[in-house]
Amino acid sequence: MQFFSLFSLKEWLSPALSLGLTVISVMPAQAGDPLALPEPLSLESLMALPVTISPQVQLQQAKQQQALALIGQQQSVNALELNVVGRLGWREFANETQENHQLALHVGKQLYDFGRQNALTEAQQQLTKAESRFGVRQNHQFQLQLMQAFFNIILADYQYRVQNESMAVAYVTLDKAKDRHELHQISDVAYLKRQNDYEKILLLRSKAENEQRRTRSVVANLVGQPQALSDKLTFPNLEAYSQRSLPTLEALQQQVLSNNLQLKGLGLQRQAALSQLQGEKVANNPVFRLDAWGGQLSSYEKKYEGNWRVDLSMQMPLVDGGLKSSAVAKQKAQIQQIQAQIAATKQALRDQVSELFFTIKLSEAEKKQLQLQADYADLYLDFSRALYENESQTDLGDSMVQLSESNYQMISQQFKQTLAWAQLDFLSGQAPSFKKPAEIINHEENYEAHIQ
């Protein structure tokens, strides 16, 4: 299958081409920047950028760090305490003012609280693991966004090619109509119709031109370099996805439900809520502590206080105003909420997997149909070119547009299939992967993405 561009027929369409090559300048990435986008830009080099350039990834990492800090904070409740206590004081005793100073070393530890702090610490550890799962999921989601955005640039470039060639053909048609109108061979109505048709196609070309710039801006913004709009791209090697075999729908659904990171994170949140509930249930149980002091316990240490003191104490609330019961009720409601989220997430995942499954299943039939369409467009272009070279009446321009449109449809179908597989990987807790380096392959070997 061959790719032909309108640029190869300058003699036939030179007036139109003079209108079709408006180049928008872009600001390249600064040299020496380790995160600068290479030129030409490949999908693999884009995916190799550190995920930490994404603000969403940074936000999730901050949540993980906060969760880790809370573990340490929770564990400190049962840790050994060592501190110095001091006091400059005076008191009234036996109708006289006396000094009451203190300077001592204090050692203390909470001995037993019926497992409350252990349960709360376990809950925080589970929440930290959940944030870790959500962090990995966010990394994968960012890479999926990069893949989608890269594909959109290529599709925008091919769509511009189609619209640019359509505009050139429409311009030639309008130019001929203008000559015929000046010779009074066609009516004003017919001529205005040609003008209207040309303006419609020119508008579509302008939209396609804007889409080229917009899709590049999306990628540049995603990687944190809004001014670094890539001029040229290499067509990605997607064999890692195109050579896959499709399992059954039931097998895919089971795989996703077993490995989905969102579900795993929710499961860990449920375990955390259960541990938190266990801790709240024993909130009003006695708490035993051991404390010891050594040093100058008062200004009269030899007469009243001595030099050391050891306390084994117990504290148990008798009336808490309903604090414990409300805390327990709150945790039970939290568990019910998470269980509902898990059930809803499973339902949504089954639907997503079903949609992706049938998208991939249908893609083979689409590929076959589009290949036949491309073969027809290729042969029809050869036929039109032969007529053109023999100076016969021909619709060579239309046949070129038809071939370009066929190429666009084939590429769109390939990207659609690849993204469906990549989304299945994402739902299964896996990152997008490529087994082979990027290269310009097969019928895309002449692809050059020009910013227009």
Omega of the bond leading into 40 within 30 degrees of 0 (cis): yes
Residue 228: predicted pLDDT: 81
Produce one character per residue of 191-205: b if its CB has 16 or more CB atoms within 10 Å, e if not: beebeeebeebbebb
CA separation, residue 153 to residues 158, 220, 231, 254 (Å): 9, 11, 10, 34
Question: How far is 409 from 373, CA to CA, in rounded Å?
Answer: 10
Question: How far is 452 from 22, CA to CA, in rounded Å?
Answer: 6
pLDDT digits (tens, 9 = 90+) for 293-331: 998 887 765 556 678 889 999 999 998 888 889 999 999
**Stretch among 155-164, 233-242, 429-438 having the lowest mean pLDDT:** 429-438
Q: How many CB atoms lie within 10 A of CB 386?
A: 12
Of 398 and 123, more confident: 123
Nearest Cα neighbor of 146 from 422, 427, 445 is: 422
Residue 163: predicted pLDDT: 87
pLDDT digits (tens, 9 = 90+) for 405-441: 778 888 888 899 899 999 999 999 998 876 543 333 3
Question: How far is 281 from 262, CA to CA, in rounded Å?
Answer: 29
Residue 96: predicted pLDDT: 84
Q: Which CATH homologous superfamily contains domain 43-78+115-284+325-431?
A: Outer membrane efflux proteins (OEP) (1.20.1600.10)
List of residues 6+ apart from 112 with CB closer than 8 A: 287, 288
Cβ–Cβ under 8 Å, residues 279 and 116: yes
* Strand-pair partners of 296: 103
Of 163 and 25, more confident: 163
Question: How far is 383 from 375, CA to CA, in rounded Å?
Answer: 12
Up-side HSE of residue 57: CA atoms within 13 Å toward CB? 18
Residue 2: predicted pLDDT: 37
Of 120 and 303, more confident: 120
- Exposure of 189 by Cβ count < 10 A (0-12 exposed, 13-18 middle, 19+ buried)? exposed
List of residues 6+ apart from 410 with CB closer than 8 A: 367, 370, 371, 374
Range 28-36 contact pairs with CB under 8 angstroms and sequence separation of 24 or more? 28/228, 28/231, 29/225, 29/227, 29/228, 35/223, 35/224, 35/225, 36/225, 36/228
**Cα dihedral sign, 321-323-328-329:** positive
Residue 398: predicted pLDDT: 61
238, amino acid identity: L
Run of H or E including 6: none
pLDDT mean across residues, the chain: 81
Q: In the structure, what pLDDT confidence band is assigned to residue 395 with cuts at 50, 70 and 90? A: low
pLDDT digits (tens, 9 = 90+) for 1-29: 333 333 333 333 333 333 333 333 344 44
Residue 41 backbone phi and psi in degrees, to 5: -85, 130
Residue 332: predicted pLDDT: 94
Question: How far is 221 from 217, CA to CA, in rounded Å?
Answer: 6
Residue 445: predicted pLDDT: 39
- Exposure of 377 by Cβ count < 10 A (0-12 exposed, 13-18 middle, 19+ buried)? buried
Mean pLDDT of 370-378: 62
Of 221 and 439, more confident: 221
- DSSP assignment letter at 22: P
pTM (2 decimals)?
0.79
Residue 375: predicted pLDDT: 61
Cβ–Cβ under 8 Å, residues 43 and 438: yes
Question: How far is 126 from 269, CA to CA, in rounded Å?
Answer: 7
In the chain, what percentage of residues exceed pLDDT 90? 46
Residue 377: predicted pLDDT: 57
Nearest Cα neighbor of 314 from 291, 298, 342, 295 is: 291
**SS3 state at 100:** coil
Question: How far is 266 from 125, CA to CA, in rounded Å?
Answer: 14
Encoded tokens for 128: 């930290």
Encoded tokens for 28: 């390249």
Residue 370: predicted pLDDT: 63
Phi-psi region of 224 (alpha: psi -120 to 50; beta: other; left: phi over 0): left
Question: How far is 349 from 338, CA to CA, in rounded Å?
Answer: 16
* Statement: residue 338 has pLDDT above 50: yes
Cβ–Cβ under 8 Å, residues 263 and 346: yes
Q: In the structure, what pLDDT confidence band is assigned to residue 376 with cuts at 50, 70 and 90? A: low
Cβ–Cβ under 8 Å, residues 101 and 88: yes
**Stretch among 160-164, 234-238, 377-381 having the lowest mean pLDDT:** 377-381
Encoded tokens for 61: 């990492």
Question: How far is 418 from 151, CA to CA, in rounded Å?
Answer: 10
Q: In the structure, what pLDDT confidence band is assigned to residue 194 with cuts at 50, 70 and 90? A: confident
Boundaries of every domain in the chain: 43-78+115-284+325-431, 81-112+287-319
